[in-house]
Chain A
Amino acid sequence: MTAAFPLTLSGVQVRRQGKTVLGPVDLTLNTTGTTIIVGPNGSGKTTLLRVMHGIERFNGGQVAWERDDPAKHGFVFQTPVMMRRTVAENLAYPLKLMKTPKDQIVMAVDHWLARIGLEASRGGQATRLSGGERQKLAIARALIRKPDVLFLDEPCANLDGHATREIEVLLHEVASAGTRLVMATHDMGQARRLANDVVFLLDGKIHEFGSAATVFATPSTPELAAFLRGDIVS
């Protein structure tokens, strides 16, 4: 178990313009591995991730980490934000914020460039990378600070199968190395490949939460069963 966990959400609610978009949510994440949040569009997956990461204000409830250190969380957005810098400078940026010594930055950048296969592009502008390369760079940039937990908001949306597989391989390696992953996706195939446990969100509320094996084999709510079948759930 990573030092930051367990993460406990108690009665967390997010309201926007008088409408509840999330909650109340009660959830405790205390296992290692990968938690996958699934649910239809607008069910609150992104909001839940942002609340957990601490970049979304919530109107009620409480989010409690075992040991809260924001520098030990990483976040990968659905549409990766590429800074107007070179690929190497994008990778180095989080370490520069932490005033990491230059030689360590160079080593870490070299390591991650090799790992995501972008050594040849190190001096090129990050904004000119392909969608898959951008997302790999965004993941590497989030991981370069060695976070305890990495939140990923549908990182493979809009990517083709090859790029998706590369990212899944990377995420498998990262999870095996002990980084806790919490990821939203609406790709059920991906959820089955990566999940250790699953949160099913619908209309901003948690309908089901349990181990992946149990949730996928014996969904306890008709909504999740329908969602797993590929039916439209609203």
Chain B
Amino acid sequence: MIEFLDGLAAAFWLVVNLDEELWEISLRSLRVTLSALLIASAIAIPLGTYLAVQRFRYRRFVISMINALMGLPPVVVGLVVYIMLSRSGPFGVLNLLFTPTAMIIAQVIIITPVIASIAHQSMRELWAEYHDLLISLNTSKRQRILTLIYDGRRNLLTAALAGFGRAIGEVGAIMIVGGNIDHVTRVLTTAIALETGKGDFALALGLGFILIGIAILVNLAIHTLSRTEREGRW
């Protein structure tokens, strides 16, 4: 209990003192996570919607695979990305290992199935609702997908936020591919792991509270900006 209170106090003083290093790693956390979220959403939302609208031979298999990949172990993802980006790997020439870009790549791989799976579920329900109308209006496949994405944007936001939640709290993969290098790839989660390892639990807890605070703030900001709960809007 004393350590918990110490953690709260540490978080308070870090924020109040505008700790330069805290700001740096917090902003890096946000930059990496939001970049991964944008890229993953750009892949996963059209993919989930396409799977809702289109019937093809191995559709069920693909959906099952995406659902299964939601549980991808981040450490394994980190290891695979590490091997691919290491100097002897196929993408070693790009010199991306131990950079924020490598961390973004790992996070994209981890959260794309999460967003795609939730997006597919909500788009499937919307497609069932809209099916007859969109078919009767002789819409093209592209028009159907765009209509579903537009009208289902509130549900897709939830899918994206689920991906954000998974990414912002991720540590295993980004520790491996980022290396937790001070002023280069250190983010909040890897800093927490480091401080825990050093036995500074108060500071680790303090960073943890800040991480939770950032996650809540981002969620609130996105909900407010997209007017999710406004009267008369979807």
Contact = CB atoms under 8 A, between A and B. Distances in A.
Interface of A: 53, 55, 70-71, 73-75, 77, 81, 83-85, 93-94, 97, 123-125
B130 A55 contact: no
B234 interface: yes
What's the interface size class on B, roughly?
A: 10 to 19
B137 interface: yes
Contacts of B133: 77, 81, 83
A93 B134 CA distance: 10
Q: Closest 8 interchain pairs by CB? A: A75-B136, A81-B133, A70-B138, A84-B234, A84-B151, A55-B135, A55-B136, A94-B137
B190 to A, nearest CB: 41
B129 interface: yes
Nearest to B126: A84
A75 B133 CA distance: 8
Given A55-B135, A70-B138, A97-B143, A85 B151 contact: yes
Contacts of A73: 136, 138
A124 B232 contact: yes
A97 B141 CA distance: 12
Nearest to B143: A97
A165 B116 CA distance: 47
Interface of B: 129-130, 132-133, 135-139, 143, 147, 151-152, 232-234
B132 A83 contact: no
A73 B135 CA distance: 12
A17 to B, nearest CB: 18
Contacts of B232: 123-125
B234 A125 contact: yes
A65 to B, nearest CB: 14
A97 B136 contact: no
Given A55-B132, A83-B147, A97-B139, 9 more contacts: A53-B136, A70-B138, A73-B138, A75-B136, A77-B132, A81-B130, A83-B130, A84-B152, A93-B137
